Amino acid sequence: MPFTIVAENCTGCTACEKRCPTHAISGDPKKAFFIEPALCIDCGACGVICPDEAILDTYGNVTKVLKRQERPIAIVHPDNCNGCGVCIDVCPFDCIYPSPENQAQYLGKVEVDEKTCVGCKLCEEVCGWEGIYIMPGKEKAAFLSSLGHGLDESAA
């Protein structure tokens, strides 16, 4: 069952529509929006941004808005990524790209623009090497540390 919008709670703020990676959400500003079930991939990107608690998850539970550091984002597993580029191709927001330090040689490292990533899980689903994961942004440092990789302060 896809995510749904409770019309009487929706204020038509457009936040969910802008965040949906598959353009499954439509409506008129300041009026109730609608999620097209055939297009919804159950990623939850809409629910974590809805200020009106107007979105129900796949189990019928009201979703809660999350602070930016709590929202799910793509995190690259530096040892598993093989540089195939499938995650880059599937990302609807173009937030995954070859690491600038390796673009000339493309040595299999990708980076994620955390400001544009909505955590839709498309990259994680297509990666056959467990090279990218979706998790709350605040868990990134601990995840990389557990792998033996440091994280500079600017990336935390």
Q: What is the 3-state secondary structure (H, E, C) of the chain?
A: CCCEECCCCCCCCCHHHHHCCCCCEECCCCCCCEECCCCCCCCCCCCCCCCCCCEECCCCCECCCCCHHHCEEEEECCCCCCCCCHHHHHCCCCCEEECHHHCCCCCCCEEECCCCCCCCCHHHHHCCCCCEEEEEHHHHHHHHHHCCCCCCHHHC
Inter-CA distances, 26 with 63, 111, 142, Å: 18, 30, 37
**Residue 37 binned pLDDT confidence (cut-offs 50, 70, 90):** very high
**Residue 98 binned pLDDT confidence (cut-offs 50, 70, 90):** confident
**What's the rounded mean pLDDT across residues 42-62?**
95
Fold match between domain 1-65 and domain 68-149? yes
Joined tokens for residue 128: 């056959």
Give the containing element (helix H, strand E) for 82. Answer: none
How many Å apart are CA 156 and CA 144, to the nearest integer?
10
1-65 carries CATH number 3.30.70.20: yes
pLDDT tens, residue by residue, 135-146: 998 898 888 888
> 62 or 84, which is more confident?
62
* pLDDT the model gives residue 103: 60
Q: Is the pLDDT of residue 107 over 80?
A: no
Structural class in CATH, domain 68-149:
alpha beta
Q: Is the pLDDT of residue 106 over 70?
A: no
Q: Is the pLDDT of residue 119 over 50?
A: yes
Domain ranges of the chain: 1-65, 68-149
**What's the rounded mean pLDDT across residues 91-101?**
88
